Chains A and B, each alone.
Chain A
C-alpha cells in the first residue's frame, strides 16, 4: 500500500470549510484513498473513500486529483465536534482483510 503524507496540524474557524490535504504520489491504479478520523482516544471513525472520482457523503467530500497523486478531504461547514486527528490511508482493492496502516495524521482544531 502506498505511503501518504499529511500536514501535522491545521486550524479552521467554526462554520468554515476545512480542507485537509494528503499526498500519495506512489499510489497505484487499484488503490483506494480512505479517510478516517479519531476524536480524542475514541475508535477511528470511517469518513469516506474513493478511487478516481470525487465522492461526497453526509460527512464530507473527497476530491482526488486527476493524476491521483493527491487528494483533499473537505468538511463543508466545520463544527467544534469535528476537532480530531484525520488520517489519509491508501489501500489496495485486492488487499481484502488486510491491515490499515495509520500514520500520524492531521490534527484539525476547529476554533469558535
Chain B
C-alpha cells in the first residue's frame, strides 16, 4: 500500500541553525501539506502546496519557514533559523485531486519527524 515517508525520523539541532525536513508523498498525489504537533498539544496546520505554489498557510508559517518540491518526488520544509519553540513533531501529508465537482479528498500522513531545538 502506498504511503507517505519522511526523513529523518529524529533531528536535533542548535538554536539558530537551519533544518530541512524531507517528505516523499504518495506518488500520484497532487496536494501536499505540513502539520506540526508540539508535545501534548493539538496537530496544527502549517501550509498546503499545489501546482508548485503555496495554496494556504497558517499564522505559524512565517518568513522562517519555506517549502519546496525540488523534484518529482520530494517535498521539503525548511526552517531557516530554528527557535526553541520550533521543537515539535512535523508531519507531512498528501492527497489526490478529487475533481472540480468536489468530493471527499483524503489526506494521508507520514510518520513524522521529531525536531528538537537546543
Contacts and interface: CB of A to CB of B under 8 A. Distances in A.
Interface of A: 30, 32, 34, 36, 38, 41-46, 49, 51, 87, 92-104
Contacts of B39: 41
Interface of B: 4, 31, 33, 35, 37, 39, 42-45, 48, 50, 55-56, 58, 89, 91, 93, 95, 97-98, 102-112, 114
Given A97-B56, A100-B43, 15 more contacts: A34-B106, A36-B109, A41-B37, A41-B112, A43-B109, A44-B43, A96-B98, A96-B102, A97-B31, A98-B48, A99-B48, A100-B45, A100-B93, A100-B107, A101-B45
A41 B114 contact: yes
Contacts, number: 69
Q: Among A44, A102, A103, A104, which residue has the most Cβ atoms of chain B within 10 A?
A: A44
Nearest to B45: A99
Contact of A41 (B35, B89, B105): B89
Contacts of A94: 102
Nearest to B50: A97
Contact of B112 (A36, A43, A92): A43
Residue with the highest number of chain B CB atoms closer than 10 Å, among A45, A94, A103: A94
16 contacts: A30-B102, A34-B104, A34-B106, A41-B89, A44-B91, A45-B109, A49-B104, A49-B106, A51-B104, A96-B105, A97-B48, A97-B55, A98-B48, A99-B33, A102-B44, A103-B42
A91 to B, nearest CB: 8
A20 to B, nearest CB: 17
Contact of A46 (B43, B58, B106): B106
Contacts of B102: 30, 92-94, 96
A92 B104 CA distance: 8
